[in-house]
Amino acid sequence: MSDSFLSGSSVLVTGGTGSFGRRFVEVLLAEHAPRRLVVFSRDEMKQHEMRQDLPEDKHKALRYFIGDVRDVERLKRAMDGVDYVVHAAALKQIQACEYNPMEAVLTNLMGAKNVIDAALDSSVKKVMFLSTDKAVSPVNLYGATKLCAEKLVVQSNSYSRSGGTTFSCVRYGNVFGSRASIVPVLLSQRQNGRITLTDSRMTRFCITLNQGVQFVVQTLERSSGGEVWIPKIPSVKVVDILEAVAEGCEVEEIGIRPGEKLHEVLLSEDEARHAVEFDDMFVIEPLHPWWRTPTWEGGKRPAEGYHYSSDNNDAWLDMMDVRGLVKAQFPE
């Protein structure tokens, strides 16, 4: 624990009471010994519930800040003395973003701008922004706001003086079992013996909360500013998730909903031309004059025409794998 680069540092996580934020806080407290760990979120009830499990009197580093990423002045107050920021706050429900487009823009896009401005003004060392596979060739507003936010984050390195704040992104697929995933929906539907399926051909990337947190910590340490970090993670057939979670239930196929794709992409063909591939990840390098390419030991350029999508993946979860994940995260 004492060898961690985060040991003795001050860290802030926006969306700190969400699925990712909460697990991130738990991992940092258990493994990295930060001096100060700020949970920044707008939901006082979720903070109250989190405080019951992680009270400040037992975790001296913890600070609970009520605030919204739409409020840049509150962000600046919260970032006072902060070394590292992980920006996880967002409106994530696709249908909610489609129905409330202005709200999605204010939180996901303007919120990212506010985090950037506050970090620059507060002399934060590093900012890591959490993105999604839906930002690649987006077909819904949620993905479009995440794509724009990625561009803001990467290009904001041009505003930072030498030795100042650096900005990078992590982009990964569906978090298995999170509140925004399909699993809680299926667990609820199976109580009635009937579940819905959009399209039997559909595939998705899949990552666990713990894997996501560990990848963010790993890339936060390695980042030099401007990268988009993409983990290599397994794919899963949606029909296998349904079978594993709700075996024996009646299935109604309802068709792809607005804003959905058959398959998701984490690395497009055009992005692959300026990416570096490792055994466990890809790193997209920025195409800007301020970028100074690090020495990527062990990395290689993807083959011409390559793209990384959930249907052309080498790694797959089967029904037994999914059953194991469900049992581990949703014990009955």
Please report, in tens digits, the pLDDT of each residue of the chain (332 residues total). 457 999 999 999 999 999 999 999 999 999 999 999 999 999 999 999 999 999 999 999 999 999 999 999 999 999 999 999 999 999 999 989 999 999 999 999 999 999 999 999 999 999 999 999 999 999 999 999 999 999 999 999 999 877 799 999 999 998 986 776 788 788 788 888 888 888 999 999 999 999 999 999 999 999 999 999 999 999 999 999 888 888 888 888 888 888 889 999 999 999 999 999 999 999 999 988 777 767 778 899 999 999 999 999 999 998 889 889 888 877 66
Question: Which residue ranges make up each domain of the chain?
Answer: 10-172+208-232+266-309
Of 58, 76, 113, 134, which residue is the catalytic one? 134
Strand, coil or helix: 175: strand
Cα atoms found within 13 Å of the Cα of residue 293, Cβ hemisphere only: 11
Which residues, listed in sequence order, are joined to residue 275 by a DSSP beta bridge?
284
- Per-position DSSP letters for 115-127, written without gaps between them: HHHHHHHTT-SEE
Q: Where are the alpha helices (DSSP H) in the chain?
A: 19-31, 44-53, 72-78, 94-99, 101-104, 110-121, 141-155, 182-189, 209-222, 238-245, 269-272, 319-329
Partners of 236 in beta bridges: 204
Token digits for 128? 């890591």
Predicted model pTM:
0.94
Residue 332, pLDDT score: 62
Q: Which CATH number fits domain 10-172+208-232+266-309: 3.40.50.720, 3.10.20.30, 3.40.630.10, 3.40.50.2000?
A: 3.40.50.720
**Could you tell me the two tokens for 289?**
């004059």
- pLDDT of 43 reads 94
- Residue 134 among the catalytic residues: yes
Q: Is the dihedral of CA 113, 116, 119, 120 positive or negative?
A: negative
Query: Dihedral (C-alpha) 306, 308, 314, 318: value to the nearest 10 degrees?
Result: -160
Q: What whole-number distance in Å separates Cα of residue 307 and Cα of residue 277? A: 11
Q: For residues 145 and 130, give the distance between their C-alpha atoms in angstroms, rounded to a whole number.
A: 12
Q: What is the pLDDT of residue 137?
A: 95
Q: 114: Cβ–Cβ under 8 A, 6 or more apart, which residues?
A: 69, 70, 71, 72, 75
The token pair at 257 is 């909903």
Place of tokens 């806080």: 25
- Burial code (b: 16+ CB inside 10 Å, e: under 16) for 178-215 equals bebbbbeebbebbeeeebbbebeebbbbbbbbeebbbb
Name the nearest CA neighbour of 208 among 305, 325, 75, 56.
325
Q: Which whole-number Å values give the CA distances from 249 to 187, 258, 329, in the listed order? A: 11, 25, 21
* Residue-level pLDDT at 50: 97
The pLDDT, as a whole number, for residue 330 is: 72
